Amino acid sequence: MKKSILNLENKTVGNIDLDSNIFGIKTLPDLIHQYIRYQNAKSRQGSHKTKTRSEVSGRSKKPFSQKGTGNARQGSNKPPNFRGGAVSMGPVNRDHSFNLNKKEKKLALKSALSTKVTDDKVVIIDTFEIKNFKTKELNSNLKHFDYKSALFIYSENGIDKNFKLASSNIPKVSILNQKGINVKDLITFDKIFFEKKSIDEITKRLLWKITNKKYLLNKLMI
């Protein structure tokens, strides 16, 4: 699968072959949805808490006499039916996260990448290096790509300092290291801009087991 490599002025500077095992698989909406649920659940703080009868401050003295008042008998003013009392069946501190298999995570990521390529929402840039950190100049160049929101994924070598400073003031534009690539960001942002080196690193990481097995088989045959 061939894809054009562009510069930040939207001019073609070359071509790259995308691995069909990563960027050309079938879209799996159910698995993508499950992965986003997994991400959202994992990011929840889970610190919501209400007080039980044992935690409410107050005396354990009877609020009124057992008999003669016409009211139902009460042992203290801490029950939920009293104003300022405890909350019945209220939320407690807990972990909202759930497990997702490694194979499912990897497959969901491949499916999300393939979906973006199919929808023509993936742009491959040769490098994110720019001469200065002026936001105005970078913003004028990015307008050629016609995006609603953009995510720039850079390689392990890091992001260009000027590009980082210039992009920080542009609305709906974010940057991310290829190690942190995830399904939620891929689906949320309109267009995904990959640095050429990051494509090679992502391909190597997601196909590591396949290449490793081939290496071991070749070694055994020798």
From first to last of its 222 residues, the chain has per-residue pLDDT tens of 888 999 988 899 999 999 999 999 999 999 999 999 999 999 999 899 999 998 998 888 998 999 999 999 999 999 998 988 999 999 999 999 999 999 999 999 999 999 999 999 999 999 999 888 999 999 988 988 989 999 999 998 889 999 999 999 999 999 999 999 999 999 999 999 999 999 999 999 888 765 555 544 454 455
* pTM summary value: 0.79
pLDDT single digits (tens) 95-133: 999 999 999 999 999 999 999 999 999 999 999 998 889
- Longest CA pairwise span in the chain (Å): 97
What are the residues whose beta carbons fall under 8 Å from the beta carbon of 123, sequence distance 6 or more? Answer: 6, 145, 191, 192, 193, 194
Give me the domains of the chain, ranges plus CATH numbers: 2-44+99-221 (3.40.1370.10), 50-90 (no CATH)
Q: How far apart are CA 186 and CA 201, in angstroms?
A: 17
